[in-house]
Every structure is written in C-alpha cells, then in structure tokens.
Structure 1
Amino acid sequence: MADLSLQSTYKLKTGYEIPVLGFGVYQTPLDVTEKVTVKALELGYRHIDCAKVYENEKESASAIRTSGLDRSKIFYTSKVPRTCMGYEKAKKAIEESLAAVDIGYIDLMLVHAPHGGTEARLGTWRALVEAQKAGKIRSLGVSNFGIHHLEELEAYIKSGAGGEISVGQYEIHPWCPREDIAEWLKKRNAVVEAYSPLVQATRMKESVLQDLAQKHGKTPAQILVRWSLQKGYVPLPKSVTDSRIQENAQVFDFALSEEDMASLKLDSYAPVCWDPVREIKL
C-alpha cells in the first residue's frame, strides 16, 4: 500500500477528500467533547465522526470553531438516527443537525442504521439527496446496512433517485471483519469506515495482539488501527484521554507484514456493539 500519514486522504466518488483516520465522539460526555475534540485537532486529526443520536454535535462543532482551523480543512460527519427514518422525519433530522453544528455544511451524512423497512429507508435517502442537491451535505453514505439493504438502495439509486453510496460505516476489526460487505463496497469505489476499531478495549490482552505489539514496539491499540489502515479502511478510534488520542494517531511510522496481517485473520464474528447488519432482515 502507498505510504500514509495523518494528512493523507482518499477521494470519494463525489470528488471530495476524506482523511484516512477519523476521531470518533460516540459516548463522549458533553462536558468534555469540545476539549478532547480540540485536542485531536491540535494533534493533527482532521476528521470528526459524530451523529445526531450522540447528542454532542453542538460541542463537536464548537471544537471546530475553537481550533482556529479553516472549515474547509476539517471533515465532519453526522448521521440520521434510526428513530428518524422516512422522508419527513429524516428531512427534519437533517435540518436539526445542520442547525446544531452551524458550520455551513456537513461533509458526510450517513443513514445510521437500516431500521423502519424499505419505504422508510428509501424515503430517508430521498431526503439526503435533496439536502445534498441544496449544498447542505457534500457526500452521502450508510452505516450498518446488510448487503440486502445495500442492494435495495443501489437499485433505488439506479432507478433515478440520485445520490451515491460514497461511504459505508461498520463495526470492523479482526473479530468482526465483515469481508463480504467491505468487498461489496470496494467494488463500487465506496470508502469503508471502521467504527470501534479498538474493539472497545475488550481484546487488548489477546496473545496475537500482545505478540505483534511487542514485535513492533507499539501498543495493541496501535496494531489494531494499523490493521484497519492496511485493509484500506478509515478507522474511527475514540478516546477522552489526551495521551491515547495521540497514541491512536502514531500509526504511520511502521507497517504490519503480510505474515502479521495473516495472523489477524481470525475465524471469528464477535461484534461488541449492536448488530443491525444481521438483526434487521427486512
């Protein structure tokens, strides 16, 4: 793979650039969200992954303003929640997110999960396309969609609905690799984002991670972030600790070998978060 740095980006199908490493704010308390996000921006992160349901959009956007960085240098993501599926509800949710952040536009808006059935999913997409055409959102994508949901949406887009699936965001790590979904997205030149890339710190003592950490003089967390990068994904690690925010970004000065990557190819499917991908059949 090409050499990457914290400043590296991938080009989305819309032509916009998405930084290869993001900073997640899921479950980050309101009273520290701005502080830790400012710290991440100071350390060189340029990609913030938020969502309406996280209830800290306003604080995340305040960090963008506080940072003093030009708005165009920061990539900001939000998501339409599962409780706001359907055209009218989604349209309202999009406007509420835009008002909460008040940063001119949202770089990427995802459908957070495939709840509500076909009509609700497609209505939500229609609302997103309208907002994109109005210049309020730059790129669109989905999160937690199974392949059957992706194919349903793809057919809708091809029927003339508009928009493109530029990004697919999923819980992805060696214990939940989702190779089939990643392959589906990559075949369509969509970027794959990996949330909970550190497995919520539940696997740090696994021998395979410990061995690789010792071999490379890195932490288990850095091994996991590097694995995600070398798979071609955009990992979204989160932390409220300054030292770990920095640590999670210090992953560009080493590489995992083919043998290392093979050792992390595990016969496992053990998500640590919710799993709409498999739970939502319709």
Structure 2
Amino acid sequence: MNDNAIPSITLNDGVEIPQLGFGVFQVPDDETTAAVSTALETGYRSIDTAAIYGNEAGVGRALAASGLPRGDLFVTTKLWNADQGYEATLRAFDDSLAKLGLDHVDLYLIHWPTPARDLYLDSWRAIERLAAQGAVRAAGVSNFQPAHLSRLLDHSELVPAVNQIELHPALQQSDLRAFHALHGIATEAWSPLAKGEILTHPAIAAIAERTGKSAAQVVLRWHLQLGNIVIPKSVTPSRIRDNLNVFDFQLAEHDMAAIATLDRNLRTGPHPDTLN
C-alpha cells in the first residue's frame, strides 16, 4: 500500500493533513516504537501522540529510524491540562519537541478545554506565537465544545485548524460538526470505533458482510466519506494494515443513512464540560 493512496484534507491555513492517520493512545512507550514503525512501513504518514500518553520519545525513535524525509511525515502532539497557561505552554511544547526529536510539529493541539481552570485562552496565545515562529505548522484544539470554540474565535485572529473530538457512529456530534463546517475547522475523530462498542451492531455487520470488509473497515470508511480526519490505533500489525485498507470500496447512500440512525450520544471518554 503506498502512501499516495491516502487522501489529504487541506486545513484552513493551507497545510495538508492525511485524512487517515495512526494514533498511539494508551500504547506504552516501549511498545510505541515498534507500532509506529509498523504503521510507517505499512504506508501511514500521519502519527498522533500527546504529552500525557508518555510515548512521545517512542514515536520520535520510530520517526528517526524510518529514514523517511521529514516533509513526508505529519506529526501531531497535544498540550496536557496541567501545562496550560502562556509560559507553561511554551515550556511544555519545548519538552514535547525534545522528546520527539523534531524541530517543529505539524499540528499542536490543546488537549482539553478544562473550563474550570480557564487557561485555554492563555495557552492559545502561546500557540499563536509558536505558529508565527514556524515551530507549529497548524494549530488546533481537542475536545472543545461550541462555547469554548466561540470564545477562542472572539479573542484571537487564529482560527483553530482542527478540533479533535470523540466521534463514532454512536456519538455523531452533528451540531459540533456543523459549527466546524461554518468556521472552517476540520473535524478529527478520536475513538473512531467507539472502543469496539459499535462493531457488532447488526446494521454495520450487514454492510460488512455485503462489502466483504470488516466492521472496523466499514466504520472507518463512514468517517472518511463524512469528511472526518480519523486516527485509529492498534498495536497488532494485521489490524494496522487492515485499518489502512479502506480506499478500495465505497459505502452507498443507504449505508450512510443506516449508520446515521445509530447515534445514541454514547461517550467512551470524559465529557469536555466536566473534565478539569
């Protein structure tokens, strides 16, 4: 599978991000290098990590060992909640960069709004500075609700390029996706398979059987056809390959309509309004 088969999305600042990437949430650092190396060998070029995952160094080792040109890679990391604030954000970013062994990241995200701390505007000012310096090619957020995004838009010239949110057929976030579309913010899905919760649903199983694809491949295809950026994670080489093998089939309109009925506001992770 060559990396040219993965389409990219052009963000609001002109930066291109592969629409399908590889996530390393909950992968221990000592296993991360092997998983990311397998992903890069398979054809992934976008790798998504975060300071709190504790595996930025493992990602960095795989990137260095890959021999791939830096310009062919798209690397995302995230600012953790305890490091929010203007000066703290700049320090945390330098720390992440050192662990990754890079001189810039392609996308830097505020991991959670943590509204009770009320520091995300200060953090965003720091990220604006990093973007102006070229240390961050694209600036974004994660788990922001419309109210948090509106506040950023009111206080900054820099519109987030991406909002990475929990999104899958059981939590379709249509209001938030509509807000993104209105403001030119790309939607990126974490937990795109709902930690497996939705893979046994009869509607998805029926589409999988008809297309000769796995339930996971059907759901990833749904994301792609909605226009979402998606970052499935796995440490199993066969699954890493399977998750990339989603560009040789299409879901019909009636398939998309059937999956649209599965929304039940099911969160597998915390709620952004209450996580502080």
Q: Which of 238, 241, 245 does residue 233 from structure 2 map onto?
A: 238
**Could you list the per-position Cα deviations for residues 109-161 of structure 1 after superposition, in whole angstroms to 9, with x for gaps in the alignment?**
0010001547411000011111111221111011001110010001011xxxx
Alpha-carbon distance in 1 for matches of 2:188, 2:268: 16
CA displacement at 1:5 relative to structure 2: 6.4
Alignment of 1:98-177 (within 5 A): 98-117=97-116, 119-157=118-156, 162-177=157-172
> Which region of structure 1 is more displaced relative to structure 2, 96-105 or 252-261?
96-105
- Report what 1:188 is aligned to: 183
- Report what 1:36 is aligned to: 35
**Could you list the per-position Cα deviations for residues 202-238 of structure 1 after superposition, in whole angstroms to 9, with x for gaps in the alignment?**
2221111111110110001001100100100011100
Q: Which letter maps to 1:269? A: N
Q: Which letter maps to 1:24? A: G
Alpha-carbon distance in 2 for matches of 1:258, 1:188: 26
Q: Which runs of 4+ in 1 moved over 4 A?
A: 116-119
Q: Which letter maps to 1:37? A: V
Alignment of 1:1-282 (within 5 A): 6-117=5-116, 119-157=118-156, 162-265=157-260, 266-276=262-272, 278-279=273-274
Alpha-carbon distance in 1 for matches of 2:101, 2:143: 27
Contact 1:167 1:193 in 2 (8 A): yes
> Which region of structure 1 is more displaced relative to structure 2, 113-122 or 139-148?
113-122
Contact 2:111 2:141 in 1 (8 A): yes
CA displacement at 1:7 relative to structure 2: 2.9
Q: Which letter maps to 2:226? A: K
Alpha-carbon distance in 2 for matches of 1:80, 1:171: 17
> Per the alignment, in what secondary structure is the counterpart of residue 264 of structure 1?
helix
Alpha-carbon distance in 2 for matches of 1:223, 1:217: 10
> Per the alignment, in what secondary structure is the counterpart of residue 107 of structure 1?
strand
Overall identity of the aligned pairs, in %: 37
Q: Show structure 2 runs of 5+ residues with no match.
A: none
RMSD: 1.6
Q: Which letter maps to 1:63? A: A
Alpha-carbon distance in 2 for matches of 1:267, 1:228: 14
Alpha-carbon distance in 2 for matches of 1:226, 1:215: 14
Q: Which letter maps to 1:275? A: H
Give the TM-score taking structure 2 as reference length.
Answer: 0.95
Contact 1:80 1:90 in 2 (8 A): yes
Alpha-carbon distance in 1 for matches of 2:138, 2:80: 17
Alpha-carbon distance in 1 for matches of 2:263, 2:154: 32
Change (3 A) 1:116 1:181: closer
